[in-house]
Amino acid sequence: MQRNVKLIHDFYNAFARLDYQTMQAAYADDAIFYDPVFESLDAAQVRSMWQMLCTSAKNFSLRHSEVIADEDYGSCNWTANYTFSATGRPVQNKIHAHFRFKDGKILEHQDNFSFYTWSRQALGLRGTLLGWSNVVREKVRKKAKQNLHNFIAVNERLTP
C-alpha cells in the first residue's frame, strides 16, 4: 500500500477510535488545516482541535472511503455521526478531505462540507432558517474558535 494511502487510513481509523495522539502525529510541524467552521489553523492549533473534538465527542462514529493518494496529494470522503454538544442534536456530517504530504506527514489538510446542511442538523430550526447566512456562520465560527482558544489555554496550564 502506498505510504500516503496508509497514512490517510491510519488517520481516520485513529479518529474512529478517538485516538487524537495518532492523529496529531500524522501532521508535519509546519502543517496547515482549513474547514468551514474553524477556518485556518496552524499545526499546533489543528493538533489541539483534534484533541478537543476527540475528548468531548458524544455518540461518535466515523466511516471513511474512496482514499486516493500519491507521493504529494491525496483525498478521501468521510462521514462523522455525533451529538452536537451545544444543542444535543444528532449530526451526520459528510466531508470531502484534500491533503498535501511532505516526508510521510500531512502538510496541508482541507475539509469541505456544506455548512448549511451541517447547521440544519446541529442548530435545528435556527439553522434551517438562517444557516445559510453569514451572521449564523460567523457566530458558529467565533464560538468554535473561542472554544479552541480556551481548550489550548487550559491544556497549556496543565502541561508541566
Task: List the chain domain ranges.
Answer: 3-113
Q: Examine the pLDDT at 135 and tell me if it is beyond 80.
A: no
Span 33-42, pLDDT tens digits = 999 999 999 9
Longest Cα–Cα distance of the chain, Å, equals 46
pTM of the model: 0.91
Q: Label residue 158 by pLDDT band (50, 70, 90).
A: low
Span 95-134, pLDDT tens digits = 999 999 999 999 999 999 999 999 999 988 676 666 676 7
* 120, 131 Cβ separation under 8 angstroms: yes
What end-to-end distance do the CA atoms of the chain give, in Å? 39
CATH topology of domain 3-113: Nuclear Transport Factor 2; Chain: A, (3.10.450)
